[in-house]
Amino acid sequence: MEIPELAELIWLFEDEPQGEDGDVRWPVGLHSFRLTRGAISALFSVDPTAGEAYISLYVDGEEIMYIGRLRRLGRLTVEREQSGYEGLKLWFREDYKEPVVLQTKPTIRLSWDVKSLGEW
């Protein structure tokens, strides 16, 4: 999986990652970043070696959303715009899937516009 430099992720989340296992250093293993804006918090966890990620959103400390084990991620990109927007896009290896977008500034927002895979 292609990932931004650790310094870029620290800049985006305004936080150092916390490793699941204290003996394992970035980018091996699961590492978590936290960010809070007002009452909303995001917890972003990524395992670059496995190509997997997890995202949780909280309001006033209570979890309101969890997207777990996003698999087959091909790359992560940090997005910055002059308008003040900042965020992270999680791209899948397959072209038919839209990226998951975790906006980090000016507010925290999670979006994923999934394309239809056909009729069932």
Taking the C-alpha atoms of residue 68 and residue 13, their distance in angstroms, rounded to an integer, is 19
Rounded alpha-carbon distances, angstroms, from residue 58 to 4, 14, 87: 25, 17, 17
- Domain range summary for the chain, segments of one domain joined by +: 6-112
6 φ, ψ (degrees, to nearest 5): -55, -40
Instruction: Going residue by residue through the chain, which has 120 residues, state the pLDDT in tens, using 9 for 90 and above.
Output: 899 999 999 999 999 998 877 766 778 889 999 999 999 999 999 999 899 999 999 999 999 999 989 999 999 999 999 999 999 999 998 776 789 999 999 999 999 886 655 555
pLDDT for position 94: 79
pLDDT for position 100: 94
pLDDT for position 27: 80
pLDDT for position 24: 66
